[in-house]
């Protein structure tokens, strides 16, 4: 049996919808075929998929946090320069008013 057919049958095999004869063929193939065995493991454990999906928002969140921090510190520098500038202007005015 070729891998293509095994791939087609794997979801049914996992659900237990295949006949005993087919089960034996698939089980036998899985023992000999590394790639189909991996596919079978992935299909059998949807946890792997859930974990991958859970990781995505985490990455996005991290990225958002980074962007936010960049914006936040950017504003902070901007404000600091305004305060510094105002202080400088005030000093000049006070100097001229003396
Ligand atoms: Zn195979």
Q: In terms of Cα–Cα distance, which of 71, 20, 72 is closest to 28? A: 20
Which pLDDT score is estimated for 28? 95
Mean pLDDT, rounded, for 50-66: 66
Would you mind telling me the total number of residues written for the chain in this entry? 98
Share of the chain above pLDDT 70, in %: 86
Measure 66 CA to ligand 1 centroid, in angstroms.
Answer: 43
Determine whether 36 is exposed, middle or buried from the number of CB atoms within 10 Å of its CB (0-12, 13-18, 19+). buried
Measure 78 CA to ligand 1 centroid, in angstroms.
Answer: 61
Share of the chain above pLDDT 90, in %: 37
Measure 44 CA to ligand 1 centroid, in angstroms.
Answer: 16
CA distances to 43, 47, 62, 65, 66 from 55, in Å = 19, 12, 11, 15, 17
End-to-end CA distance of the chain: 98
Average pLDDT, the chain: 84
Mean pLDDT, rounded, for 16-20: 92
User: Which residues 6+ apart lie within 8 Å of 48 measured at CB?
Assistant: 42
Measure 3 CA to ligand 1 centroid, in angstroms.
Answer: 4
Measure 49 CA to ligand 1 centroid, in angstroms.
Answer: 21
Measure 82 CA to ligand 1 centroid, in angstroms.
Answer: 67
């Amino acid at each position: 049996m070729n891998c293509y057919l095994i791939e087609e049958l794997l979801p049914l095999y996992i659900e237990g919808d295949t006949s005993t004869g087919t089960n034996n063929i698939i089980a036998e193939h899985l023992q000999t075929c590394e790639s189909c065995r991996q596919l079978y493991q992935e299909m059998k454990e949807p946890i792997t998929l859930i974990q991958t999906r859970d990781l995505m928002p985490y990455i996005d969140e991290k990225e958002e946090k980074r962007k936010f921090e960049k914006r936040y510190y950017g504003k902070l520098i901007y404000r600091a320069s305004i305060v510094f500038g105002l202080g400088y202007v005030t000093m000049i005015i006070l100097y001229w008013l003396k």
